[in-house]
A = this chain, B = another copy of it.
Amino acid sequence: MNTTAPDPSRRDATGFSTARLEAFSDGVFAIAITLLVLDLNVPEPDSLHGESLAGALAHQWPSYFAYLVSFLVIGIIWINHHAMCALARRVDRRTLFANLFLLLTVSVIPYPTRLLATYLTAGDTDAHTAAAVYAATMVAMGLAFSLLFLSFTRDARALHTPVPRADVNAAMRRFSLGGLAYLATIGIAFLSPVAMLATHALLAVYYCFDQLAPVRRTPVTPR
């Protein structure tokens, strides 16, 4: 009889531990969310042309607004990613790729954020283009998150606790609802870029209310 505790760093022979998936993902989330600050430009002293620094900073409000929304979005995705990973005991190669797709959509976010900050108050057409690119990135991100959720839950043996099919379906319905809202923001982008950004701030708050809650709260069976 083996009374020695299992080595927690030992990997399951038939899959990958979630520990390193989370470590790598945490790294990408942390870097993407922190790189956003590079999108905030300090006005060059020579470019003020007599305007005060306070005035120049005030004119940069689109940068701050886009920064805040993107920070909130990445932060919420991280929290939900955290909740999702807590469901699984091990992951297979397919899940690693689904996760890589999500990380692609997350790590690219500083780019549409910079684009939107630059063009939010530019001429109409270009502001609409920048806003549509931003909204489309969010659609791709939402899609990637849903695919990853499906990948996490499809293999019941990999979960700490089997998640009832009904709960998965309910979560997917909520994701789909969010996905439709995300899609709608592409349309809003052509009406009002500022409204598009505000909608994403609201959607992030919506996702705060723990869309995964019913799944995660399934009582843990004794092990």
A23 with B24: CB separation less than 8 A: no
Within 8 A of B (CB), among A1-46: 2-11, 13, 16-20, 22-24, 26-38, 40, 42, 44-45
Within 8 A of B (CB), among A113-139: 114-115, 118-119, 122, 125-126, 129-130, 133
The distance in angstroms between the C-alpha atoms of A119 and B63, with both chains bound, is 20
The distance in angstroms between the C-alpha atoms of A31 and B7, with both chains bound, is 29
Q: Which residues of B contact A44 (CB under 8 A)?
A: 118
Q: Which residues of B contact A130 (CB under 8 A)?
A: 53
Give the interface of A toward B (CB within 8 A): 2-11, 13, 16-20, 22-24, 26-38, 40, 42, 44-45, 48, 52-54, 57, 67-68, 71, 75, 78-79, 82-83, 85-86, 93, 96-97, 100, 103-104, 107-108, 110-111, 114-115, 118-119, 122, 125-126, 129-130, 133, 160, 208, 210, 217, 219-220, 223
> Mind listing 29 A-B residue pairs with CB under 8 Å?
A2-B223, A3-B3, A4-B6, A5-B6, A9-B19, A16-B86, A17-B86, A24-B78, A24-B82, A26-B27, A27-B30, A30-B31, A33-B107, A35-B38, A36-B107, A37-B107, A37-B108, A37-B110, A38-B38, A44-B118, A45-B118, A52-B125, A53-B119, A57-B129, A75-B103, A75-B104, A79-B93, A82-B96, A93-B208
Q: Which residues of B contact A208 (CB under 8 A)?
A: 93, 97
Count the copies: 4
A104 with B71: CB separation less than 8 A: yes
